[in-house]
Structure 1
């Protein structure tokens, strides 16, 4: 199998062990996205790759497509089945029964020790198809009690199932809320199906928004961690998302994830066919930046398929179709236990490196030095560990005298195909790097380096396998005439 399905020995060899006497858990040093999160909340999110930016470097999620029916229509959604070529919500290659889903979870857990979360995100709505959703969680919980469970929902049916969510230990919930103004919502949702009938227009919008707010309030009252997804649609809700952020924060939402509209006409969505454009990376960042002081922001979302498997940014679902997995998979818990021990040591080591880099910048970098956006090629682990030609996305960080902060993701085509560079892909890559002057890579060929240089982009390959924050801090300090020692791989 490909991607992140690798022997545990390979994983452990790639992670350095901190010196004797060092921390063995993240509690010894604040991870990069711990911030002001209370300890009891951090314990709930530290292994969840969607609720913690730091966790997505180490842990994998999987979605099982057991909920095909939906109770609303969104102008940005077109659910597709038996589809292996599109990477977006609402798409799956297989629709599963709860029994098939439980079998698939066991098969993945047996091969992917990083797996920490099972989510149900459709391809319809997880709570409109609630019987399939809860039966899947019941079957999996009996075999894999260490997995975290979460769902994604549009919120229309949510108030009817809040108590059941607690019963099944589902304490991470994502609600898609694109508006709090019914007039704006009418431009996004053509209809809803509620209590046995179809509603349209302003009446549909009011029902949906009221149910979403009720569900959010009831979940947070029970202590459930709630993430809100909002699709940024230029000209429709881009300016309005500030009001959405205020409303969800007031009701206790933990995270707000502002995602770009995907509007390729080939996907067959109403927005795509009507020519509604998606936002640029700069527009997404501007909206996210405008939400500072509101609910915590998620900036590392990949807008996953309904059958996604593996680390965020890499989908192994094709390796785990029903025809490729055993009838009765057996999970050995030892590799999963060992992997978590290794990750705990790695996180503590990285926390120290990040703290040192931040302290060094604060002490030596000029406060007037300009902030810079840099892109990083990484396969995970918080390190610069990917060849430029293999990168299908770039992690963007902002650096100034106060530290190095994760800013967002830029998707692109990988430059190399079958070991050879494809010059026709470079325009797409350069478009993804708009506004970026420096790219950190573990390695890069001469031709793409030259192409980047012609576009005014510097390729830095002098920090392979170093932690991202410490390497970027060292580069920034050197650029502005100060010295910070980067933490390299042990």
Structure 2
């Protein structure tokens, strides 16, 4: 999804912003920086994919970047695409669920490239608490995705949110999200920030309701309303795709847009871009600018703090460590007294960060963890069933092995996980966690433990 923030200009401008101006998208290029892996809500139409070059839709990226790597990438793109005017952060998770990474990226790019407009796209859950920072960074354009006004409708789109360190479901979750979305919208408009509202048209669910959404966002001062078609196919692994929710037909989308024509301008040139798209709207040149091409020696998850020690993957070398805080982490680890130690598993490609999709795992790394520290226990075999290119292996066999392998684990932390394995794990009392995506393993485990009540519901934790 396209988004925006502008630095180095005296006021909001759309003349050179291809997402906010239909004329500009023929002349100017944009790029999205995939620095924000974690998300704090679950949308039934979303399935974030990493290491994927074969899908063109929001939430999909080929690689995740650190803020430092993001600047290197901007430097490389700007040298070859002189029409570049906009740099956005739109995922693959939610930028404001990753505030440290997002704002550091904005600050670095604004300092080196003040002529570029920077943009942000958000679901709006934590937007009100970040509005002042956004304004202070001279962010002039923000996109908020708003799909409902009514919590009854919203609950059909969002199964849960993660808010104030707890997971909330159903209408209560939708009500909190909707309230914060509109509060954030009002606060941005009051401060002179141009706001684009994205809404996903879901046939049989919210198409009529979007008339009211359009009316209210117009009244509250949105600059642009972008009504987009649902992208839903079984191979994408989204809940709607797996449940057979159909996409809108072209005629249906155009009819809805015609019904919404009014005070707020409607965007009709959106291409529903990937979270790492590069180039003119409607094209994607990201493959030309992957980090292996522009900085071959730079690791994707290089620890920002020099005293972070990579985890040694050997069951014979079990050690207790209390890691230093990782500057890249979205959630800083918190230490509390008298805490419970929990048996937890993770999926990791690097062995240092949560950088692997559950379906790609060929091993699970198991730890005993508390807010005080982390002990590596052992490596356990897993069975990969997702191989990219829309090809899946024996998912049932892989899930069966995972359930047997993880019976003593309270939770498994991973970069992302599909709806069906999520549901299967929950049914067995194993909680899937993907909100720490991209973070250092030890920091994520300690933060997870700090969020939990003293007694474990699953009975697999022990007091030390």
Answer yes or no: same fold by TM over 0.5: yes
Q: Which one of the candidate residues 226, 241, 246 is aligned to 2:210?
A: 241
The aligned residue for residue 95 of structure 2 is: 126
* Partner SS for 1:186: helix
The aligned residue for residue 361 of structure 1 is: none
Q: What is the CA deviation profile of residues 373-420 of structure 1, one whole-angstrom value per residue up to 9, with x for unaligned ones? A: xxxxxxxxxxxxxxxxxxxxxxxxxxxxxxxxxxxxxxxxxxxxxxxx
For residues 54-453 of structure 1, what are the structure 2 equivalents within 5 Å?
54-326=23-295
C-alpha displacement of 1:128: 0.7
TM-score, normalised to structure 1's length?
A: 0.58
CA contact (8 A) 1:107 1:326 kept: no
Q: What is the CA deviation profile of residues 296-354 of structure 1, one whole-angstrom value per residue up to 9, with x for unaligned ones? A: 100000101010000000000000000111589xxxxxxxxxxxxxxxxxxxxxxxxxx
CA–CA distance in structure 2, aligned partners of residues 316 and 187 of structure 1: 35
CA contact (8 A) 1:149 1:169 kept: no
CA–CA distance in structure 1, aligned partners of residues 10 and 272 of structure 2: 24
C-alpha displacement of 1:294: 3.3
What runs of 5+ residues in structure 1 fail to find an aligned partner? Answer: 1-39, 329-490
C-alpha displacement of 1:147: 0.3
CA contact (8 A) 2:12 2:194 kept: no
C-alpha displacement of 1:49: 0.1
CA contact (8 A) 1:72 1:191 kept: yes
CA–CA distance in structure 1, aligned partners of residues 34 and 71 of structure 2: 11
User: Given the superposition, is the C-alpha separation of residues 42 and 144 from structure 1 closer, same or farther in structure 2, using an over 3 Å criterion?
Assistant: closer
User: Given the superposition, is the C-alpha separation of residues 152 and 324 from structure 1 closer, same or farther in structure 2, using an over 3 Å criterion?
Assistant: same
What runs of 5+ residues in structure 2 fail to find an aligned partner? Answer: 1-8, 298-464
* Partner SS for 2:88: strand
CA–CA distance in structure 2, aligned partners of residues 130 and 154 of structure 1: 13
* Partner SS for 1:170: coil
C-alpha displacement of 1:285: 0.5
CA–CA distance in structure 2, aligned partners of residues 128 and 319 of structure 1: 28
CA–CA distance in structure 2, aligned partners of residues 327 and 227 of structure 1: 37
User: Given the superposition, is the C-alpha separation of residues 43 and 152 from structure 1 closer, same or farther in structure 2, using an over 3 Å criterion?
Assistant: closer
Structure with the higher helix share, 1 or 2: 1
Q: Which one of the candidate residues 34, 43, 51 is aligned to 2:20?
A: 51
CA–CA distance in structure 2, aligned partners of residues 53 and 324 of structure 1: 32
C-alpha displacement of 1:245: 0.4
